[in-house]
Structure 1
Amino acid sequence: MNPNLSFLNTFIDVSEDAFEKLKGISTFKHIKADTLIAKEGETPTKIYMLVSGLMRVYFSTESGKEFNKNFFMPICFVGSFTALIKNKPSKLNYETLTDCKVYEIDYVKLIKLCHTDIVISNLYNKIVEHIFMQYEERQLELISLDAKQRYLELRKRIPDIDLLIAQYHIASYLSITPVQLSRIRKGLKALY
């Protein structure tokens, strides 16, 4: 079975016909590291199914300071969903951290398919529910775990994170400074 169909089937059973329709509105792309796929202030039109590589979403202040909201690793959906749903400019930036392989999906065509194909509509709803649950889990981490616990949770999710992502990106995601992250890492090394 196609691995992409297998992934979609983790949400609901997707028929071959529905899968072919989704392929028809998707384009396979290789995207180089450090590429913005959705920019703050621009209205996005695409969502992405990330099949290899790492991405991040971040908010940038007027002074240029960046705050990482999330990291994405395969296989998952990436996109400025609030901006897509509202058809408004994004408040966030989505960037590749490594070279990535993605399926770029035309959002307007996806929504049109949702109106004519119940399987695709149900799949879309399940994916949006999944994204909401991930967002809620992240919010709970921020309010219930200390920085060390958040770092350990991140390492569980992305085991090689220290080799893949710059320290300042990890620190920003954890809502701490790079110096604090360095201390946490040093403390963990002392335990092992």
Structure 2
Amino acid sequence: MNSIGDIPEDLFKELENISEFKRVEAGTQIVKLNEVPTKVYLLLSGVIRCYLSTESGKEYNKSFYFPTSFMGALTALVKKQPSRFVFESISECELYEVDYLQLMELYKKNTTLKVFYSRVLEMVYMQYEKRLVDLISLDATQRYLELRKQNPNIDRLISQYHIASYLGITPVQLSRIRKKIGTN
């Protein structure tokens, strides 16, 4: 957290009081489809995916979260509506679960937290914007190479099926790309 902004000890203690440390097994849905979420998370270890599921059951991975990522179904939290996304652990994970309403109450009273929260939202937005630009401007091979540049161990951490879904291609297409660039 201190890499984003200096958190004084008293604020850190207050944040600790509204947080709960959790270990979750692979395959755990942290935020379920159509659930009205009440928590945000700080991932300490493991990998979590966020995906959208169609009525036919097809899943589309929107994002992956790696250690020291903040995550949550932000639109659903802010609007107090059911989440359209599922957040699911791909591996065993350790995380802090933070009560969003209590966080917002603390936010109203604490200027340091306001700055910190602003920086986190800026980071999230910049990641989202980069993902959008990549989807619009890069072909599948370039998107895969960019993903590997950001996460060199991606092929060991996440199944080919999930990577392909994230890239917007089929696992067969990903296999061909990997063979072409010599990663198989």
The answer to whether TM tops 0.5 is yes
Is 1:171 matched with 2:164? yes
Tell me the equivalent position of 1:4: none
Q: Deviations over 1:107-162 (max 9, x none)?
A: 00000000111111221121111111111110001011111111011112221211
Following superposition, which runs of at least 4 residues in structure 1 exceed 6 angstroms of deviation? none
Is 1:139 matched with 2:132? yes
How does the TM-score come out when normalised to structure 1?
0.93
Is 1:181 matched with 2:167? no
Is 1:47 matched with 2:40? yes
Corresponding residue SS for 2:94: strand
Deviation at 1:9, TM superposition (A): 2.0
Corresponding residue SS for 1:88: coil
Q: Tell me, in whole angstroms, the C-alpha distance in 2 between the residues paired with 1:121 and 1:35.
A: 31
Q: Which runs of 5+ in 1 are unaligned?
A: 1-7
Q: Tell me, in whole angstroms, the C-alpha distance in 2 between the residues paired with 1:11 and 1:186.
A: 39
Tell me the equivalent position of 2:52: 59
Deviation at 1:24, TM superposition (A): 0.9
Identity of aligned residues (%): 52
Tell me the equivalent position of 2:73: 80
Corresponding residue SS for 2:20: strand
Q: Tell me, in whole angstroms, the C-alpha distance in 1 between the residues paired with 2:81 and 2:119.
A: 23
Q: Tell me, in whole angstroms, the C-alpha distance in 1 between the residues paired with 2:121 and 2:169.
A: 29
Deviation at 1:10, TM superposition (A): 2.1
Q: Tell me, in whole angstroms, the C-alpha distance in 1 between the residues paired with 2:59 and 2:112.
A: 39
Q: Is the 8 A contact 1:38 1:93 kept in 2?
A: yes
Corresponding residue SS for 1:50: strand
Q: Is the 8 A contact 1:113 1:121 kept in 2?
A: no
How does the TM-score come out when normalised to structure 2?
0.97
Q: Tell me, in whole angstroms, the C-alpha distance in 2 between the residues paired with 1:151 and 1:164.
A: 14
Task: Note the 1:90-129 alignment, pairs <5 A.
Answer: 90-129=83-122
Q: Tell me, in whole angstroms, the C-alpha distance in 2 between the residues paired with 1:161 and 1:120.
A: 32
Q: Deviations over 1:82-120 (max 9, x none)?
A: 111111111111000000000010000000000111111
Of 19, 33, 38, 1:26 maps to 19
Residue identity opposite 2:165 in structure 1? S
Q: Tell me, in whole angstroms, the C-alpha distance in 1 between the residues paired with 2:29 and 2:176.
A: 31
Tell me the equivalent position of 1:3: none
Residue identity opposite 1:123 in structure 2? F
Residue identity opposite 1:98 in structure 2? S
Q: Which runs of 5+ in 2 are unaligned?
A: none
